Structure 1
Amino acid sequence: MSPRVVDPVARRQAVAEAVFRVVVRDGVEQASLRNVAEEAGLAIGSIRHYFDSHDDMIIFAAEALIHSIDQRIFAHVQSLGDRKGDLRRPGERVLSEVLPLDERRRDEAVLWLAFATAARTRPSLLPRAEQLFDGLRALCRRVLTVMRDSGTVAASLDVALETERLASLLNGLTVDGVLHPGRMTPELTLSLLRKHLDSLR
């Protein structure tokens, strides 16, 4: 009987998804090699075969999260400039992809906050936290620039300043949506985002 061939890319991704589940449920501090191995249904030795250290595993999971979010948002951003008419609603749809409006996006938001918070005391995570910080601002800048160029917001809009304001709003909505989901509901979250975009005319 020939030995089973394991796809290393798929195995590393499966471990990253196990990290996600542990972090969402119990926090980054509980994402030990042992706990992640148990969650993934693997031996610790299998985890160590694919990752040099615990830090390596957590960094890979953070990068996998960033890649997943980027891929999904990129598809929305690509079609943004093709739309005609009022781009505030398409802009709202693009921006809402980073907000905790359903279970998948809420889990992503929990992971984003967990990794960003952990980066304060884990220098190895800092570059990934900075990547998330910069990525949100790049998204806001792209949406606002398209909206300004299409005439759906004021032509005199200070894109640099409004990028920071919009990113801060999205951050606040995300934190409140994760920590107080019963109060910052998806409906209220979208209403506040829509109100902000409408105010830029």
Structure 2
Amino acid sequence: MSPRVVDPVARRQAVAEAVFRVVVRDGVEQASLRNVAEEAGLAIGSIRHYFDSHDDMIIFAVEALIQSIDQRVMDHVGSLADRTDLRRPAERVLAEVLPLDERRRDEAVLWLAFATAARTRPSLRPHAERLYDGLRRLCHRALTVMAASGTVASGLDVELESERLASLLNGLTVDGVLHPDRVTPDLTVSLLRRHLDSLR
């Protein structure tokens, strides 16, 4: 009987998803090698085979989160092209980073957990900065396209408004995670829409 061949890419992704489940449920501090191995249904030695350390495992998970969000957002960025009124397409693209359903809420929980952990874990800081900068690049891109199409006020300070929009999205994300019964998906979308409409 020949030994079963394990796909290392798939195995590392499965471990990352186990990290996500542990962090969403219990927090970053509970995402130990042992707890993640148990969540993934693996021996702890299997985790160590694919990751040199606990930090290596957590960093891989953060990068997997970034790539997942980036891919989904980029799938929607095409909707910004060839439109006369870009407020609604921009709303749809920006809404991809807000906790509007279970998947996006879990991603928001992970983002907040990893960003908070980075405050005291230097190894996570560059990755938390990538999440921070990525949101601002997304806002800048959306507003730049809107400005070029004339769907926002002429002379709009895109640099400043990108920071303001990113701050709004950050606030809506935090409130949506911490107070989901009060900052509901409907309210979140209404606030984003009102903000974009105010830029005309």
What TM bracket, shorter-length normalisation? over 0.9
Percent of residue pairs identical: 86
CA-CA distance at 1:86 after TM superposition? 1.2
The answer to whether structure 1 residue 95 and structure 2 residue 121 are counterparts is no
* Structure 1 residue 33: Cα displacement: 0.3
TM-score w.r.t. length of structure 2: 0.99
What does 1:63-142 correspond to in 2, within 5 Å? Answer: 63-82=63-82, 84-142=83-141
Q: Which residue of structure 2 aligns with residue 40 of structure 1?
A: 40
- Structure 1 residue identity aligned to 2:151: T
The corresponding residue for 1:24 is 24
Structure 1 residue aligned with 2:165: 166
Once the two structures are superposed, residues 60-109 of structure 1 have per-residue CA deviations (whole angstroms, 9 ceiling, x without a partner) of 00000000000000111133123x22110000000000000000000000
Q: Aligned AA for 1:122? A: R
Q: Which runs of 5+ in 2 are unaligned?
A: none
Give every structure 1 segment of 4 or more consecutive aligned residues whose post-TM-superposition deviation is greater than 4 Å: none
Aligned residue pairs, count: 200
Please name the residue that 2:183 is paired with. 184
Whole-angstrom distance in 2 between the partners of 1:175 and 1:81: 30
Q: What's 2:8 paired with? A: 8
Counterpart CA distance in 2 for 1:131 and 1:42 is: 30
CA distance in 1, matches of 2:112, 2:154: 34
2:115 maps to a residue whose letter is A
SS in 2 for 1:184: coil
Deviation at residue 40 of structure 1 after TM alignment: 0.1
Structure 2 distance, partners of 1:147, 1:79, is 12
Q: Does 1:156 align with 2:152?
A: no
CA distance in 2, matches of 1:155, 1:146: 13
User: Which residue identity does 2:74 align to in structure 1?
Assistant: F
